[in-house]
Amino acid sequence: MLNYKYFFTFIILFSYSNAELIKPANGEELSYIHILFEWDQEPDAINYNIQVSNQSSFNSILIDIEESSNVYINKNVFDWDNTYYWRLRTIYSDGSYGQWSEISYFSIGEKILTNLDVDIYNEDLIQDGLVMYSQFSPYFAVGVIDKWGNEIWNTQTAYMNHINKYGQLYGVNGQGVKFNFHHDLLWETPPGTDIDSHEVKQIPNGNYMAFVPTFQLGPIAQGPWTTLFQNLGYAADGITNEIPWMGLRIVEWDQYTGEEVWNWEPFEHFTMTDYDIYEQGGWWGALFDGFFDWMHSNAFHFDAEESVIYVSHRHLSRISKISYPDGNVIWNMGLPEEYNTGNNNICTDLLFSFQHHIQLLDDGDLLFFDNGNLSDLLFDEQFRTTRIRRIKVLNDNSCETVWQYELPPYLFGEGMGSVQLLENGNYMIYTYGNGFGSDCSIFELDQNDEIIWKVTSQNPNAAWYRAYKIPSIHPDAFSVIANGYTTLDNDTPVIEFDNNLLKFTIYNKSGYTLPYKFIFNDLSNDDEIMFENEEGEFLLSPYESTELLFSSNNNMTTTNISLDIWPIHHSYGKKELLFSIFSNSLFGDINTDNMINILDIVSLVNIILGIDDFIQSADLNQDGISNILDIVMLVSIILS
């Protein structure tokens, strides 16, 4: 006899294979040693047992762990120039184990960064994370190291000049590019663009922005070089326009079409009477390169809140605030008038020179790397000094120094340089050092202005560009688990409902705070659908999880469902879940001597109705039987 107590619903999935090993792909060669493992979810899994070995026989086990999601990252076991094997099996709620998957293998390539010396002065105060930097001498490379100087990741795909808080990478490889830690090129400037290598970024509206060289004929300024230029046949009188001056346009490209949609032309906003009269490098460069490197703009920061762009022009020792989109210069910050780089500069008492890496902090402060190439002249110092500046601009006409740090003389950097404010209040600083030499260094400064960690290249010809502290090399790492994923007695995989709610658990495995987007669709062709279509966004902190819930109206018997989900800033990591479903609404707590389970009822109904493929039938309407509830009632009468 049937006891009618409650409804329960199953969704049958037809698109999943069991425990397919996804990452690393079989036979793949990797360029990193923090290894991400990913596999398909298995029905009835409580945990997964992952084993890794350096032998295909698994006689030697390097990793033997359990994981509840379907993504696992190991940071401690793997090394360069090696091959590894891995396999996985399901652990069930009763403690039993499933069969081992097929064995998959991967290899790790060679290290490419120059050797480093590391000094750790206070490990307890170091910000957690890894350090990423670009190396352009003695050869090109981009790499990530840990706090002990171990090489974690490398690439020669592109030269990195910016990484944002979401782990998106930007740089150049002949063109301006956006790329990722998998070495994929996600965007590049239009073919033939003469891109400058200093700064490529994606601005808040999603478009891309960078510097592009622009030229206009101008005079050769008079100075110690005048006679040399005159001997080469130039007038070199400071008046005659006879040599190209190079400025840098700021250009914005549409993120989808690559069309140039906005630009800022320096020759329209700056006067050529402003130029550096002290640092000779620009004019000697004019002799050898055929043009005068007038501005050497090297950094910009787009502030969407105020709709302005802050720009650093190295050879003018000038920082500009530019209104967007009209391009008007709100102010120029720089040297006093007698230094020939502008007669309307604000904050002339700061006396910075040849600066790099301008950025606006969340509190409105400006942070930048003051190389100090003219500091001996400006401060009447015996040696040139590099300073880190954090300033607040007041009413667009004066400045207040919030914090300043003077690098020791051996770390003076005449070129390049970067600074990053870290989450714990420390600063990550890169300095080129005292010319080409062994002092090319990255160091972390604590809140008491003490160096607590420092890495220095062993190569005397080393030159880097910028350095960033990052939380991980896997910003796209996340896991999606379908709650209640199980099997029927015939081994058909299903998701079991809980109070008519379909549940998915999302795990952020990345180490970054990231926004995610999802699109959930009932793909039924009928007018009536089982689920309402939904899309939305949510934010996950590092290693946090959340649940997505979708409610069924129980009016349908079959449908198709899709769930697409991805980190908004890493859309290449999208997971697309597609499955066909069959809703079998029956009374639960079946208690009869003649019926063992639901499948027996289905088999009996097949016999009664003469339906060869009951499960594939979505619209039962034979001999007065209009739906599954009628079938259950009919079977209950027969069994009574």
**pLDDT per residue as tens digits for the range 147-162:** 999 999 999 999 999 9
- CA dihedral sign, ordered 277, 282, 288, 291: negative
Helix axes 598-609, 628-639, angle to 10 degrees: 90
Q: Where are the alpha helices (DSSP H) in 139-236?
A: 226-231
User: What does the mean pLDDT of the chain come to?
Assistant: 87
Q: Where are the strands (E) in 523-574, listed by range?
A: 534-540, 545-551, 558-567
Between 257-271, 393-407, 475-489, 596-610, the lowest mean confidence (pLDDT) is in 596-610
Structure tokens at 29: 């060669």
Residue 487 has pLDDT above 80, yes or no: no
Confirm if 502 and 182 have CB atoms less than 8 A apart: no
Query: Which of 495, 477, 475 minimizes the C-alpha distance to 485?
Result: 495
More confident residue, 16 or 373: 373
Q: How distant, in Å, are the alpha carbons of 277, 331, 360, 413, 482 from that of 395?
A: 30, 11, 16, 32, 54
Buried-state track 221-235, b at ≥16 Cβ within 10 A, e below 16:
beeebbeebeeeebe
Confirm if 162 and 199 have CB atoms less than 8 A apart: yes
Question: Over the stretch 164-212, which tens digit does the pLDDT of each residue have?
Answer: 999 999 999 999 999 999 999 999 999 999 999 999 999 999 999 999 9
pLDDT more than 90, % of the chain:
72
Residue 523 has pLDDT above 90, yes or no: no
CA end-to-end span of the chain, whole Å? 6
> Three-state SS for 245?
strand
pLDDT range class, residue 121, cuts 50, 70, 90: very high
More confident residue, 225 or 85: 85
What pLDDT is attached to residue 557?
Answer: 59
What pLDDT is attached to residue 280?
Answer: 58
What is the identity of the amino acid at 343?
A: N
Q: What are residue 121's phi and psi, to 5 degrees?
A: -100, -30
Most confident of 415-419, 457-461, 529-533: 415-419
Between 95-109, 375-389, 514-528, the lowest mean confidence (pLDDT) is in 514-528
Query: Which whole number is the average pLDDT over 349-360?
Result: 97
Pairing of strands 104-108, 28-30: parallel
More confident residue, 412 or 281: 412
Q: Whole-angstrom Cα distance, residue 391 to residue 350?
A: 9
Pairing of strands 71-74, 35-39: antiparallel
Q: Whole-angstrom Cα distance, residue 127 to residue 475?
A: 18
Query: Which whole number is the average pLDDT over 55-62?
Result: 96
More confident residue, 391 or 603: 391
What pLDDT is attached to residue 481?
Answer: 93
Query: Which of 322, 394, 404, 306 minimizes the C-alpha distance to 355?
Result: 404
380 burial class (0-12, 13-18, 19+ CB within 10 angstroms)? exposed
Q: Whole-angstrom Cα distance, residue 62 to residue 59?
A: 10
> Three-state SS for 125?
helix
Among left, alpha and beta (phi > 0; psi -120 to 50; other), residue 630 is alpha
Residue 575 has pLDDT above 80, yes or no: yes
Enter the pTM of the model: 0.87
What pLDDT is attached to residue 1?
Answer: 32
CB atoms within 10 A of CB 81: 9
